[in-house]
Amino acid sequence: MSGMLKALVGFTVAQAVIVFGAMVVLQRFVWTDVSGVGSVRASAWLAFIVQTFTFLIARLVARQNVIAGWGLGVILRFASVAFWGLLGIKALGLLVGPALMSLVLFYFVSTLVEPLFLN
């Protein structure tokens, strides 16, 4: 298995455990009503997909320019939060508070493990 694939698989597994673990905690203790649970679940899936894509881009770009890879990842995360807040939440009929706050939390916790797999 190549180094790139090994890092991608490792990061994907680690972030899945962290994001979906955080999702369970939020659904069980913070937003326990049906619409809150759905909003948190949708944000968890969005975070998982965006973070996986962002990690792949950061890993590819970081070989030439670490700051460019990091900056591109930040821009993609901010853009997805803006898109989610302006269009996605309303289109899916989700609650704004739980959807946005959980998305940002999921990005934060999964970004903490990202450096372990970028090298």
**What are the tens digits of pLDDT across the range 98-109?**
999 999 999 999
> Cβ(92)–Cβ(42) under 8 Å?
yes
Output the CA–CA distances (angstroms, integers) from residue 99 to 86, 105, 107, in the order listed: 12, 10, 12
Element (H, E) at 96: helix 96-118
pLDDT tops 70 at residue 9: yes
Query: Which pLDDT belongs to residue 105?
Result: 96
Q: What is the mean pLDDT of the chain?
A: 91
Indicate if the pLDDT at residue 1 is higher than 70: no
More confident residue, 75 or 68: 75
Encode pLDDT of 20-64 as tens digits.
Answer: 999 999 999 999 899 999 999 999 999 999 999 999 888 888 778
